[in-house]
Amino acid sequence: MDQIVTTPLTLAATRVACSQCSLRELCLAGGLDDSDLHRLDEMVQRRKVKRQHQMFRAGDPFEAIYAVRTGFFKTDILTEEGLEQVTGFHMAGEILGLDGINTDHHVCNATALEDSEVCVMPYAQLEEISRAIPSLQLQFHKFMSREIVRDQGLMILLGSMRAEERIAAFLINLSQRMKARGYSAYEFHLRMTREEIGSYLGLKLETVSRTFSKFHDEGLISVQQKHIRILDADGLRALLNHTTC
């Protein structure tokens, strides 16, 4: 069973300066001036999460949202049949925990796919500061809107795309997100398993593995276990009949 590393928010170990973070433009700190950043700095705390440990579980009380500073997470829910359904993969600069706002309890699990670090933002304090800093409130609303758009994109992905299109869209989406963070858009290491990719895309493990092999044989990508190199980005895009999520 996955381990969980929840600790009281008051015991989170380390303060972090948003003003000195290289990811600030991708996170809630984007667009804030120095005085507003200082107020945010006083609230944000840092927490480490080891690989395969959980930041929170479905049913846990909602206390904070979490900005991924380093590492990679997956979110998932359990279906009525008791099966894991992956709902998202989250990398540096992205936010976890928004699922808990509606009911004051988390509805999904968040698990680190590698040793990671998050910035903890207690939600009650974030709300209070947001009322005093309109630009922070606007940035937070943008993040929530982005999540809605991503969910809509996933519905399109699962509802109308063939397996090859789903895998192509997934790789292009990862490529774009890597590029936005200053990493290579064409060469990266997959933190998730083929099975987790299949769960996210609504495909069987065998279909995911077969499609990766097909793309490799056709010269679209080079695959060495979890290491991916995109050789023909235009070829991947040509497979798509819909806008990627």
Q: Alpha-carbon distance 115 to 70, whole Å?
A: 8
For residues 184 and 233, state if they share a domain. Answer: yes
Same domain? For 13 and 95 the reply is yes
Q: Decide which of 129, 155, 181 is a domain's last residue.
A: 155
Distances (CA, A) of 14 to 43, 46, 116, 129: 11, 5, 14, 20
- Domain count along the chain: 2
CB 139 within 8 A of CB 30: yes
Instruction: State both tokens at 237.
Output: 């895009």
Phi, psi of 99 (to 5 degrees): -65, -20
- Report pTM: 0.83
The per-residue pLDDT string of the chain (245 residues; one tens digit each, 9 = 90 and over) reads 444 444 333 333 445 566 666 555 556 666 667 777 777 778 888 899 999 999 999 999 999 999 999 999 999 999 888 889 999 999 998 899 999 998 999 999 999 999 999 999 899 998 888 888 888 888 888 878 877 787 777 777 777 789 999 999 999 999 999 998 889 999 999 999 999 999 999 999 999 999 999 999 999 999 999 999 999 999 999 998 544 44
Rounded Cα distance between 47 and 96, Å, is 13
Written as one string, the DSSP assignment of 16-30 is --GGG-TTGGGSTTT
Secondary structure (DSSP) of 69-120 = EESEEEEEEE-TTS-EEEEEEEETT-EE-GGGTTTSB--SEEEESSSEEEEE
Please check whether residues 144 and 184 belong to one and the same domain.
no
Same domain, 130 and 39: yes
What CATH number should be reported for the domain holding residue 34?
2.60.120.10
Residues 59 and 123 in one domain: yes
> Domain check: are 149 and 192 in the same one?
no
In a domain, 243, yes or no: no
